[in-house]
Chain A
Amino acid sequence: MEKTRRSEEVKGMLKVNLEKNLAHYKLDVSFQLEDELVILFGKSGSGKTTLLNMLAGLIKPEQGKIQLGNRMLFETGKVDLPPQQRNVGYVFQDYALFPHMTVEKNIYYGIKSKQLSHTGDHVKRMIDIVDISHLLSNYPGEISGGEKQRVALVRALAYRPDLLLMDEPFSALDEKNRLQCHEEILRLKQEWQIPILLVTHDHGEASKLGDRIVHMEEGKVTQQT
């Protein structure tokens, strides 16, 4: 129960204000997210992935603040929670499924055995929603791109994150699979009620999925629609 309680307490707004010097420009962004799906839109090289990595704790910003609900994830000189303590779900661009583990082991990797009893049911329900129950004993090398995408999504949500990051999650999919995954994201969003930040450079996708669109160019937010 401990985990569920904690998630409820911290549920809520993501406040971001970050600076980092990159090779060709300075990344300097500031925005807020409620329990909504926000699209991070921009050309490749505009700093979108770097921003996600900073939110997840994989890259250290030079300056700024990341606050998620009532938890401070990063504050210059004061707080820098390591990724394993941030409780952030991350769907990587190439899915990053563990190739030596079955789909089932991949999905349950982030769930501690203590939490299994009360988290198990919700994971099973998600597995049904995205229709991957027949794949549980397969290895990632044996399933299709669309199926990998769905596994990665369930895996990132299995441990009840307080924030979900998705880095171009549909870029490797064909049209049919992409449309299907769009539907699933929208369905899971209904179910989840957490801030979701999704990176894409597909305009149609952005306007279809996003509650809001944040445009980025050379490390700066240029427009919010």
Chain B
Amino acid sequence: MDLSPLWLSIRIATISTVIVFAVGTLSARWMTRRSFTGKQVLDALFLLPLVLPPTVVGFALLYLFGKNGWIGKLLLEWFDIQIVFTWYAAVIAAIVVSFPLMYQSAVAAFSKYDYSLENAAYTMGAGQWRVFWTISFPLAWPGLVAGLVLSFARALGEFGATLMLAGYIPGVTDTLPLAIYFSVEAGNEHQALVWVIIMVVIGFTTIYWLNNWNQRPWKKHVGRKR
């Protein structure tokens, strides 16, 4: 049996999750500590992919990254890189649809503890990055991990935007959800069932692990009120 869709999905989800984790964490921390005009608008934009149908996200991405799109055109002319119909396209689609989940979890995580902890660190001479790495990041860690896991699961399950931007090219862009759809369409239900079982097992394990992880004993130091 050809397992390439499984490995491709895992590769795409992993790369997109690493990017989403870094960008989502930093932007959430930035947003929770600042107030400026237009903050609500930016916040809504960040969360937009969560409520839009994936086909709308796919259409927008095609508009940007297509051969005649703003970014697609530049990439093609300057670096000779084509995004559409490659696995990069699947990574981009996964990033956009999973970002809101990471962002939302991270905003909640950074809002959960008392800001005076960061202020205390500043008064003790710590700079922005030291405060981030020694105070904010460890205190938000449980929430950040929740976001990480949810984003990974969302990236793994991405279908609509991926299909529009990356298309279905066996061996190149056939991620698990696409492989399931096209197996069923081709009448190969046995093959589809195997992929479905794999997806369900991964999904279940994710949620189960996350629930248990959140109740780990060391959390008492982080979660407890001082």
How many residue pairs at the A-B interface have CB separations less than 8 Å?
A: 75
Contacts A109-B124, A148-B226 hold; do A141 and B220 have CB atoms under 8 A apart? yes
Shortest distance in angstroms between A72's beta carbon and chain B's nearest beta carbon? 18
Secondary structure of the A contact surface, majority rule = loop
Q: Are A110 and B138 in contact (CB under 8 A)?
A: no
Q: Are A90 and B221 in contact (CB under 8 A)?
A: no
Is A170's CB within 8 Å of the partner chain B? no
Q: Are B116 and A94 in contact (CB under 8 A)?
A: yes
CB closest chain-A residue, reference B118: A96
For chain A, residues 116 to 160, give those with C-beta under 8 angstroms from any C-beta of chain B: 139-141, 148, 155-156, 159
- Cα distance, A21 to B220, chains bound together (Å): 40
A159: which of B113, B124, B224 is its contact (CB, 8 Å)?
B124
Is A45's CB within 8 Å of the partner chain B? no
Contacts of A56 in B (CB 8 A): 119, 123
Contacts of B113 in A (CB 8 A): 99
Is A42's CB within 8 Å of the partner chain B? no
Shortest distance in angstroms between B143's beta carbon and chain A's nearest beta carbon? 14
Contact with B along A49-66 (1 / 0, CB 8 A): 000010011100000000
- Cα distance, A95 to B120, chains bound together (Å): 9
Contacts of B224 in A (CB 8 A): 99, 141
B120: which of A57, A92, A100 is its contact (CB, 8 Å)?
A92
| Max chain A Cβ within 10 angstroms of own Cβ: one of B121, B125, B138 | B125
A84: which of B127, B138, B139 is its contact (CB, 8 Å)?
B127
Contacts of B126 in A (CB 8 A): 84, 109-110
Contacts of A195 in B (CB 8 A): none
Contact with A along B133-175 (1 / 0, CB 8 A): 0110011000000000000000000000000000000000000
Contacts of B139 in A (CB 8 A): 99-100
Contacts A100-B138, A109-B126 hold; do A90 and B222 have CB atoms under 8 A apart? no
Is A112's CB within 8 Å of the partner chain B? yes
6 cross-chain pairs, A with B, having the tightest CB-CB distances, nearest first: A110-B124, A96-B120, A83-B122, A141-B224, A96-B116, A90-B123
A contact residues vs B (CB 8 Å cutoff): 53, 56-58, 82-90, 92, 94-100, 109-110, 112, 139-141, 148, 155-156, 159
List 8 other contacts, CB 8 Å, given A84-B126, A85-B125, A94-B114: A83-B122, A88-B123, A98-B120, A99-B222, A100-B139, A109-B121, A141-B226, A159-B125
Give 27 CB contacts A-B under 8 Å: A56-B123, A57-B122, A58-B119, A83-B119, A84-B123, A84-B124, A89-B123, A90-B119, A90-B120, A92-B120, A94-B114, A94-B116, A94-B226, A96-B116, A96-B226, A98-B135, A99-B113, A99-B117, A99-B221, A99-B226, A100-B138, A100-B222, A109-B134, A141-B220, A156-B123, A156-B124, A159-B124
